[in-house]
Chain A
């Protein structure tokens, strides 16, 4: 059986859309945004490093996500911030697809 926490089924996350997996479900210190962009799934810490904002509500395009408040963009692949005002990047987590199940494996360093 594949590892990871089942968080959604394929088709439930639209292209350039995201869902939020709560920290309680993921067992992590932050909520996690699971994102589909250009046919690939990604998972990142959901809280912007600038102010309290849910990145899952931001603009998603071509493998990046823009904070809905002040527009800092983060690379979905490595979590790096591409511009201010966010001072630093966000943690990334592993996402795999097993059949039609989307599975999340949190970064061990972000476990609560």
Chain B
């Protein structure tokens, strides 16, 4: 199949913008248009991290300046939401915009991302209760965080944990509620999740094992009731309990959806001429099952690269172990592969003053690793995993053995 003459990309997050840049970088010569509902195409991970604490400007989070986009001949339309989609066929596909305009292109890429799941408890619609997904959310929450204020963070996943750290850095009192005693254990394993979760209390966060059952206005604040019988009076509440995916555009074009836009390894939807990338997708695995999207930043970049390559007529590169990071309380966490499931956990003992790395070994091969403030252990682990280098738990557990040396020895 020859490449389409023009491509419209719906969504200007990391997945959409990377698709645009990779297309152009890969020699695509047709028009490329990115349409973004928000005020700019910008990077979201910093919203719960340093940029939140620093109050970074929206400008500083942009992927590129207008001049840089223009130099790459990428047209960017911001502040305009796609509300309808007709699939390409004999004629170009058509994206309908909420300002009444339309965008026509031979190829359409849906990079619409996910939105934060809204809480459903009584009182969840009070103005002081929100989520964190975009720049406006971050600005609102930041304005409520100052010495003397109290912020309730509901959900101690990655975003909740990072926010708790950031809110504390801004001087706010922080209450962190999660219904699990060890949040994150299902992804990180109990050893690492316990160590990370303990940092909250150690830094002065009031940690509760509870869910919210309701909230009501109390003067300028909100009174939140938790199911452990306790209450929190907060100036702001931020709920981080997962994402939901709006599949309406894909459905309008007749593409298969199932809790996300269903795609193959190259990001093709069930409708020719429509691709989808990033958080909005669920990938069909070789056995036919649908993967749950990881929702991680790098996965979105790799989706975009694979799809740009497929649009240009190539094959997407083989995908290695997934990788992500999290920053909180001044530490940098990196994770590659899987830390739970089959196999054996190996803990690299902390050197004096240095936290441990946790690794997982199955059938004599490394399958996952995580490190705190030691990114190169994870970068080495990533290569050991992808190259299927045989390893022993004895060597991995010995902090005197560098993983890089294990990698070198295998060459």
Chain A residues within CB distance 8 Å of chain B: 16, 51, 57-59, 66, 68-71, 83-85, 87
If over half of B's interface residues share one DSSP class (helix, strand or loop), that class is named, otherwise mixed; here it is helix
Q: Which of A66, A69, A71, A85 interacts with B43 by CB under 8 Å?
A: A85
A58–B45 Cα gap in the complex (Å)? 20
* Given contacts A59-B376, A87-B64, A69 and B14 within 8 Å (CB-CB): no
How many of chain B's residues have a CB under 8 angstroms from any CB in A? Answer: 21
Chain A residues positioned under 8 Å from B45 (CB to CB) = 70, 85
A87–B68 Cα gap in the complex (Å)? 10
Q: Is the Cβ of A71 less than 8 Å from the Cβ of B63?
A: no
> How far is the CB of A29 from the nearest CB of chain B, in Å?
19
Can you list 6 pairs linking A and B with CB atoms under 8 Å apart?
Answer: A16-B404, A68-B332, A68-B375, A70-B45, A70-B325, A71-B379
Q: Which of A16, A69, A85 interacts with B332 by CB under 8 Å?
A: A69
Q: Which of A51, A57, A58, A87 interacts with B63 by CB under 8 Å?
A: A87
Q: Mark B63-84, 1 if CB is under 8 A from A, else 0.
A: 1100010000000000000000
> How far is the CB of A74 from the nearest CB of chain B, in Å?
14
10 new A-B contacts, CB < 8 A, other than A69-B375, A85-B14, A87-B63, are A16-B404, A57-B376, A59-B380, A68-B376, A69-B327, A71-B325, A83-B301, A84-B18, A85-B45, A87-B64
B298 within 8 A of A: yes
Q: Is the Cβ of A84 less than 8 Å from the Cβ of B379?
A: no
Closest 8 CB pairs of A and B: A59-B379, A68-B375, A59-B376, A85-B43, A69-B332, A84-B301, A70-B325, A87-B64
If over half of A's interface residues share one DSSP class (helix, strand or loop), that class is named, otherwise mixed; here it is loop
A85–B298 Cα gap in the complex (Å)? 9
Chain A residues positioned under 8 Å from B50 (CB to CB) = 51
For window 51-71 of B, CB contacts with A under 8 Å fall at 63-64, 68
A66–B325 Cα gap in the complex (Å)? 14
B323 within 8 A of A: yes
Least CB separation from B380: chain A residue: A59
Q: Which of A66, A69, A71 interacts with B298 by CB under 8 Å?
A: A71
A22–B379 Cα gap in the complex (Å)? 26
> How far is the CB of B92 from the nearest CB of chain A, in Å?
29
Q: Mark B380-391, 1 if CB is under 8 A from A, else 0.
A: 100000000000
* Given contacts A69-B325, A69-B332, A71-B323, A84 and B375 within 8 Å (CB-CB): no
Least CB separation from B407: chain A residue: A61
A59–B14 Cα gap in the complex (Å)? 23
> How far is the CB of B65 from the nearest CB of chain A, in Å?
9
Least CB separation from B43: chain A residue: A85
